[in-house]
Structure 1
Amino acid sequence: MKLIKINPENPETAKIEMAREILRQGGTIVYPTDTVYGLAANIFHEKAVLKVYQMKKRLKNKPISVCLSQIQDIKTVAQLDPDLENIVQKILPGPYTLILNKKDNLQSRVTAGTDKIGIRIPNNVICRELSRKFPITTTSANISGHPSPTSARKAQKELDDKPDIILDSGPCSDGISSTVVDLTVTPSRIIREGAGMEKLLSIIK
């Protein structure tokens, strides 16, 4: 597994394209987000998604969230009515995982057979560039139940040489996992408290 330094504010185009091609072909990479380091696979490549579960030793009945590049991409994988879109516009990009009703084009392995999907659009240019051509998985780069890695070196130690490459942009800015909020119910329900809680509560109250 190669550890590749990448500029956090102006990521080198060649490095992004190289990483994206690995993902397109069914590989896996570790990458920085605005919260912790994540583990990426092309969500439309079933064997690649299975690799993510195997690397993390994650139970198959636990869904994996999806990273997208921009808000308009949400409608390609999830249902987003005008009221929900108004909320989304106020908080994304940001340190949130939004639970939405999925569209039928998502493979059941990503959603663990449920009718919902977790959506992330991090405030991090690297992962938004990586997911510009197709959605990628965004699950912490660690063994399930272990602390989420806040640096590339911690992710490397956790996952050994299993991912194809690690993109290292330095420590993550937040250092704690995203806040997870279920927007499929009324009122919206906080599933996991994490980064950005105060802002989220002021919007969904």
Structure 2
Amino acid sequence: MIFAIPTDTCFWFASSLYDEAWFNLIYKLKWRMSDKRLSFVVKDFGDLKSIIDINSEQIDFLRNYPYPFTVLWGKINSFELPEFLSVADYAKIAVRVAERCLNPMLHDELVFPMFLTSANESWAPEIYSSIELESKFWNEKRIKIFEGTLKSCPPSDIFSFSWSTLEPLFIRKNH
């Protein structure tokens, strides 16, 4: 199943990290180029350390970061990617944290970690309401759309850190 979820920036498509069919469907729905990687979302800050090689001070920095963010960081060796993903392509993983970007009421309806990307075609503007999403993807029965209307806002800041420091290295800065 693909979920269309209201977040702190726009509606996302999300699916199980371990289901290749849903992964491929997200690319198809978005008309996304295969070389553009999907991000991951973990349930909370505690789960970050199970996926990426991040230290406690960096996690505290993220907890207190005032804007929507995606952190791009190296995968830890013990985190096994699904077989259909290239380890080389996902040596660094872009991660968001549901604790910060999703309504807590949705946490129990979803299984983490998940893939995620904005719920729009790659060339189209982002979508901010479940009504708009339903009208765009009306014939796609494999999407569970969670209701909501969001205010238009910039996408998340994307950054990594300079080694073990707290200095963010911005890839995209919107705030």
Q: TM-score range by the shorter chain?
A: 0.7 to 0.9
How far apart are the structure 2 equivalents of 1:168 and 1:43? Answer: 23
Q: 2:143 aligns with which of 164, 169, 173?
A: 164
- Residue 54 of structure 1 deviates from its aligned partner by 1.2
Aligned residue for 1:41, secondary structure, equals strand
Identity, % of aligned pairs? Answer: 22
Secondary structure, aligned partner of 2:49: helix
Rate the CA distance shift 1:130–1:96 in 2: closer, same or farther, 3 A: farther
**Structure 2 match to 1:11:** none
Aligned residue for 2:17?
A: 43
* 1:191 corresponds to which of 165, 171, 174: 171
Deviation at 1:38, TM superposition (A): 0.4
1:88 maps to 2:62: yes
1:139 Cα deviation after fit: 0.7
More helix by share: 1
> What letter is aligned with 1:114?
Y
Q: Which has the higher strand share?
A: 2
Contact 2:41 2:95 in 1 (8 A): yes
Match of 1:106 in 2: 81
The Cα shift of 1:135 comes to 1.2
Deviations 1:50-100 (A, max 9, x none): 1111111111111111122110011222111233223223228x6111111
Matched-pair contact (CA < 8 Å) for 2:39–2:116: yes
CA distance in 1, matches of 2:106, 2:70: 14
TM-score, length basis structure 2: 0.80
Taking structure 1 as the reference length, the TM-score comes to 0.70
Amino acid at match of 1:120: R
Structure 1 gap ranges (5+)? 1-26, 198-205
Asked whether the 8 Å contact 1:42–1:135 carries over to 2, the reply is yes
The answer to whether the 8 Å contact 1:143/1:159 transfers is no
Q: What is the aligned-residue RMSD (CA, Å)?
A: 2.5
Q: Secondary structure at the match of 1:29?
A: strand
Structure 1 residue 127, shift from structure 2 partner? 4.6
Q: Distance in 2 between matches of 1:145 and 1:96?
A: 22
Q: Which of residues 86, 97, 106 in structure 1 aligns to 2:70?
A: 97
Give yes or no for contact 1:66–1:118 (8 Å, CA) kept in 2.
yes
Q: CA deviation at 1:112?
A: 7.8
> 2:14 touches 2:114 (CA, 8 Å); kept in 1?
yes
Q: How many residues end up aligned between the 2 structures?
A: 166
What does 1:56-75 correspond to in 2, within 5 Å? 56-75=30-49
